[in-house]
Chains A and B, each alone.
Chain A
Amino acid sequence: MVPALAGCGGPLSTLAPQGPAAADIATLLWAMLAGAALITVLVLGLIWHGFARRNPRAPGEAFWIKGMGLGFSFAVLFAVVGSGIWVGERIQARPGADVVRVEAVARQWSWRFGQPGPEDEIVWTEGRLHIPAGTPVDVVIRSEDVIHAFWVPQLAGKMDALPGRDNILRIEASKPGLYHGTSAEFSGTGYAGMRFEVLAYDPAAPPAFSDLTTREAP
């Protein structure tokens, strides 16, 4: 969905998705947000009406407890949880022939990425991950010290980088471009500066892989 509001952009905005997973989640968000707004208005309206009401024949306990408390809330929750599970299943990392596998290794306070180069050898870079656009990519995430989290909001949700075990996150960029990433798990004094970039390139013309040099250490 194209963001309806101005000011939804920005390099880390979840409201300006650039990949299928992020787009699915954004759609889910807008739907839930609209529902939540409607329910808020409904509940506050009911309270307002409780003050303004003139009609003494108010609905009884059965309406409020069984109708609203149980019936209404179950119906809403069933829909929300169901669609959540459906979207969640769609964005999982599943084995596939065309999936590219890259590695993301976090340490206090920077990221190192291993990605397959022209001859399928692993090329390591600092702070910049290179992925082919339009291709599903599984990021194998781990940490060398404390817990961090790998997050590129415009492409997908986040996944923790833990010491001692690998996590896998499926990301995909629909178009070539430069996407911003950040660590999203508090990791000490250098946390705020623990940024990285994802360069999605046209698979027909892969660039030379390079480190992130534009940013200075905090």
Chain B
Amino acid sequence: MITPNPPQRALRLHRELDRVWGRPAGWRGILTSVNHSELGLRFMVTAFVFFAIAGCLAMLIRAQLATPGGAFLDTALYNQFFTMHGSLMMFLFAIPMLEGLGMYLLPKMLGSRDLAFPRLSALGWWCYLFGGLIILSALVAGVAPDGGWFMYTPLSSKTYSPGINADVWLLGVTFVEISALAAAVEITVTILRMRAPRMKLTEMPLFAWYMLGTSAMMLVGFPPLILASMLLEIERAFDWPFFDVTRGGDPLLWQHLFWLFGHPEVYIIFLPAAGAISTILPVMCRTKIMGYGAIVAAVLGLVFLSFGLWVHHMFTVGIPHMALAFFSAASALVAVPTAVQIFAWIGTIWQGRPEMRLPMLHLMGFFSTFVMGGLTGVMLAIVPFNWQAHDTAFVTAHLHYVLIGGFVFPMMAAAVYWMPLFTGRAAVRGLGPTAFWLILIGFHGTFFIMHLTGLLGMPRRIDVYPDNSEWIWTNLVSSFFGFVMAAGFALFALDLLLQILFGERTRRDPWQADTLEWAMPMPAPSYNIASLPFPGQSALQLARGEGLLPGAPRGRRETLVVDAISGAPRHIAVLPGNSALPIVTAAVIGGFVLLMLFGFYPLAPFGLAAIGVTVWQWHKFMGSQSDEPPIEAAPGVSLPVNHSVPDGLARTGLTCLLIANGTFFTCYLFAVGFLSVIAPGWPAPESTIGTLPAGTLAAVLILILIAASGLARFPLATGSTVALPLLLLGLGVTGGLAMLLDDPTRHARDALRAAGLGYVALHCAIAALFALLCLVQRRDGRLAEGRVAAWPIWRAWQDFTLATTLILVLLIAAQEIL
């Protein structure tokens, strides 16, 4: 048992903490803030703006379809609008919204002062903003992507989409996805390592379990999309034929990679929303959630199953029926964990005393839509029916039932539930229920009838239907109620705005909830809580500093790092403060994206170098040049500072990043295997790589990497002096290998080899930078006895580079021999 700290004056603690954790007022503060509350709110507000824009596009689409002749938009513009509607809703609304909610809530719910990597949160938001602005500019300029949000090749390849439109999608979305990966790493590490002292993994709030599942899925789900986007952009820019069926590529490779991301994506969106439901519903029913363990198991089951059913988006591409039957069963199976959750929630309602307050109303909106969306989902998982319904308005109806039902309604419940925490103000009575009913009636009016439109044969994405008078009335109904729904959303936004402007100050914990985020002043201060909570401590005790690590006596941002499973306190992490590096780095990456977008390829290497130089600046905060005595976080609890522990947050973060990177590499291997086995244009033409020179160079490269991995094991990175020149030599060897390769434009095999070599070269370069970092840190004393600094990171990266290079070399050798 931990003894509490002696009480102090709460106001003094607040001033001390706010001085350290706050940010300067004005523009400088806005541009340099790294605070998770501020960035979480920014993510959510920005996402809502994109929701509004994408919603307006939806209204234009509905206006066009209200009549069969549809003279409202021309086809080219209509194609841009529906592509942008889907892309914005998916990539610039749903994903950032859930990231923002997680980033805002998790440290508070878990009892931490910030996320694990505050500067990374800021980098993510700036990348999201800049990427979003690039995509929006394309819309304004009339050159928005127009190939559908799924961007199927060959329609999206250079031959059939010669304009810049497709490049905007590929580069812009990938740029935005930096924020998704950053958030995934950040959220995983925060949940695993930054909980309140002694909060076991098995006892944390359900929302954290849901977000852990979400972030794990993001780490594994986004790499296939990023790989696919990069390959397609390389094909468009340099004519490397990954998807060109005449040269050994295959458009189905795009579909596999896209849906390998695209289906998990649906659950990435649903899980945080379900997490909000599992948090809010018991509070509205004045009870505890039913079946905590079953729900955790359901979340883990969803995470696992969701990666096994991407093919149900591809039932009509000509895969043999028995293979489809497997994916059909897997797709249906995913309904089981969902059903477990639904019935756990109903059981919670039954065991409690439900009260129909505004968040609960939105949860009822969720039930009345999502259940139907789930059931039509099971129907679509059945192959023969899918063959009829695929790519018709029936699917449009289904996916809106699932996404609006499974995400938007819970998010509205979450918004009205947590608004007092965001703003410190209570809701203004009146508009909320009206907005809800308008949205609910508008929603069902729009999409219920759309099932019928689809069954009557209307394909998705058509802009006119002059010969099908039987679709007129159903479309007119959908369009009418679409505008009702839009009015409801406008009213909902107005209601929130009124609450921000005119709501009365509210007391702490207005819903009488028992999660930790309500144990802090409202709105939440920059540092969240004056001391970190032991089990059972009250909000008042925490404010008076009776928990762990009270105040900021050392004038820096300190928070607790715990054991991933047991929650036992391990060490104190010193987090970086406000910084301009995130915005500068995002701007430099944005510059590189623009160079690629406008085809200034000769300048691209300079862009990459600029990114390298900027990212290099990030290390300057890391480490300490002197030993520091352990900090007494509470009477009898002395904890070391992160500089002196080998197992810091950065190490866990790198592990997450390597999981994502490994998935990326595995997807590359999948691409090689898929093309060589399935694609029509194989076997590839005779390779002209000289076996002797190429084999020798590859062997040299492997030997260099083995040596570097060995050197990285020398105590305290003493090996970095030798490893650095060796790695630079290795980089030279990859250059030599590049000279020997066959022309990558000749055949997909040669293109894949060149891409693989590029991957290896990039990893060698980054390994060299890590070795250099260790060298620099050894010079300035940050890496010394008892202070490991970047050493463990370099070692892990070096081993990863060796492993992937070895696999790649063996693969190419096998291709050559067989």
Q: A92-B321, A184-B390, A195-B467 are in contact. Are A163 and B251 (CB under 8 A)?
A: yes
CA of A60 to CA of B336, assembled, Å:
19
The B366-387 residues at the A interface (CB cut-off 8 A) are 367-368, 371-372, 375-376, 378-379, 381-387
Q: A10-B470, A159-B316 are in contact. Are A36 and B376 (CB under 8 A)?
A: yes
> Which of A67-75, A116-124, A127-135, A204-212 contacts the other chain?
A67-75
CA of A85 to CA of B381, assembled, Å:
11
Q: Mark B138-172, 1 if CB is under 8 A from A, else 0.
A: 00000000011000101100011000000000000
CA of A193 to CA of B342, assembled, Å:
43
**A32, A64, A164: which contacts B250 (Cβ < 8 A)?**
A164
Nearest CB of chain A from residue B811's CB, rounded to whole Å: 24
Q: A84-B385, A145-B154, A192-B462 are in contact. Are A64 and B392 (CB under 8 A)?
A: no
Q: A47-B364, A84-B382, A188-B79 are in contact. Are A158 and B316 (CB under 8 A)?
A: yes
Q: Is the CB of A84 within 8 A of B383?
A: yes
Q: Mark A140-170, 1 if CB is under 8 A from B, else 0.
A: 0000011101010100111110111101100
A22 at the interface (CB under 8 A from B): yes
In the bound complex, residues from chain B placing their C-beta under 8 Å from that of A10 are 456-457, 468, 470-471
**A89, A146, A156: which contacts B155 (Cβ < 8 A)?**
A146
Q: Mark A57-69, 1 if CB is under 8 A from B, else 0.
A: 0111101110011
Q: Mark A1-30, 1 if CB is under 8 A from B, else 0.
A: 000000111111111000001101100110
How many residues of chain A get a CB closer than 8 Å to chain B's CBs?
84
CA of A89 to CA of B375, assembled, Å:
23
Q: Is the CB of A165 within 8 A of B384?
A: no
Closest residue of chain A to B474, judged by CB?
A: A7
A99 at the interface (CB under 8 A from B): no
Q: Is the CB of B343 within 8 A of A163?
A: no
B603 at the interface (CB under 8 A from A): no
Q: Mark B310-325, 1 if CB is under 8 A from A, else 0.
A: 0000001110010011
Q: Mark B294-335, 1 if CB is under 8 A from A, else 0.
A: 100010000000000000000011100100110011001101
Q: Is the CB of A149 within 8 A of B391?
A: yes
In the bound complex, residues from chain A placing their C-beta under 8 Å from that of B316 are 149, 157-160
Q: Is the CB of A29 within 8 A of B291?
A: no
CA of A183 to CA of B325, assembled, Å:
25
Q: Is the CB of A65 within 8 A of B343?
A: yes
Q: Is the CB of A8 within 8 A of B332?
A: no
In the bound complex, residues from chain B placing their C-beta under 8 Å from that of A25 are 384-385, 387-388
Q: Is the CB of B336 within 8 A of A74?
A: yes
Q: Is the CB of A29 within 8 A of B385?
A: yes
B525 at the interface (CB under 8 A from A): no
Closest residue of chain A to B157, judged by CB?
A: A146
B246 at the interface (CB under 8 A from A): yes
A44 at the interface (CB under 8 A from B): yes
Q: Identify the interface centre among A11, A185, A189, A193: most chain B CB within 10 Å of its CB.
A: A185
CA of A15 to CA of B335, assembled, Å:
26
* CB contacts between A and B, total, < 8 Å: 252
Q: Mark B447-461, 1 if CB is under 8 A from A, else 0.
A: 000000001111111
In the bound complex, residues from chain B placing their C-beta under 8 Å from that of A191 are 461-462
> Which of B348-356, B584-592, B719-727, B751-759 contacts the other chain?
B348-356
Q: Is the CB of B465 within 8 A of A192?
A: yes
In the bound complex, residues from chain B placing their C-beta under 8 Å from that of A43 are 342, 346, 367, 371
The A78-103 residues at the B interface (CB cut-off 8 A) are 80-81, 83-85, 87-89, 91-92
Q: Is the CB of B347 within 8 A of A64?
A: yes
CA of A104 to CA of B681, assembled, Å:
22
B622 at the interface (CB under 8 A from A): no
**A47, A63, A146, A149: which contacts B349 (Cβ < 8 A)?**
A47
Q: Is the CB of A13 within 8 A of B336?
A: no
In the bound complex, residues from chain A placing their C-beta under 8 Å from that of B465 are 192
In the bound complex, residues from chain A placing their C-beta under 8 Å from that of B455 are 8, 13-15, 29
CA of A202 to CA of B735, assembled, Å:
69
Q: Is the CB of A163 within 8 A of B154?
A: yes
Closest residue of chain B to A58, judged by CB?
A: B350
**A69, A84, A108: which contacts B384 (Cβ < 8 A)?**
A84
B608 at the interface (CB under 8 A from A): no
CA of A61 to CA of B387, assembled, Å:
39
Q: A13-B455, A28-B384, A149-B391 are in contact. Are A163 and B245 (CB under 8 A)?
A: yes
CA of A9 to CA of B386, assembled, Å:
20
CA of A7 to CA of B452, assembled, Å:
10
Q: Identify the interface centre among B246, B325, B332: most chain A CB within 10 Å of its CB.
A: B332
In the bound complex, residues from chain B placing their C-beta under 8 Å from that of A47 are 346, 349, 364, 367
CA of A84 to CA of B387, assembled, Å:
11
Closest residue of chain A to B387, judged by CB?
A: A157
Q: Identify the interface centre among B245, B291, B385: most chain A CB within 10 Å of its CB.
A: B385
Q: A10-B457, A11-B468, A189-B79 are in contact. Are A77 and B325 (CB under 8 A)?
A: no
Nearest CB of chain A from residue B454's CB, rounded to whole Å: 8
Closest residue of chain A to B338, judged by CB?
A: A73
12 further contact pairs, Cβ within 8 A, besides A88-B328, A188-B160: A22-B388, A29-B455, A51-B356, A58-B347, A64-B290, A64-B291, A88-B384, A92-B321, A145-B160, A159-B316, A163-B251, A186-B460
- Closest 4 A-B residue pairs measured CB to CB? A157-B387, A12-B457, A164-B245, A84-B382
12 residue pairs of the A-B complex, CB under 8 angstroms, read A13-B456, A14-B455, A29-B385, A46-B350, A70-B340, A81-B381, A85-B328, A91-B384, A147-B152, A147-B154, A164-B679, A188-B155
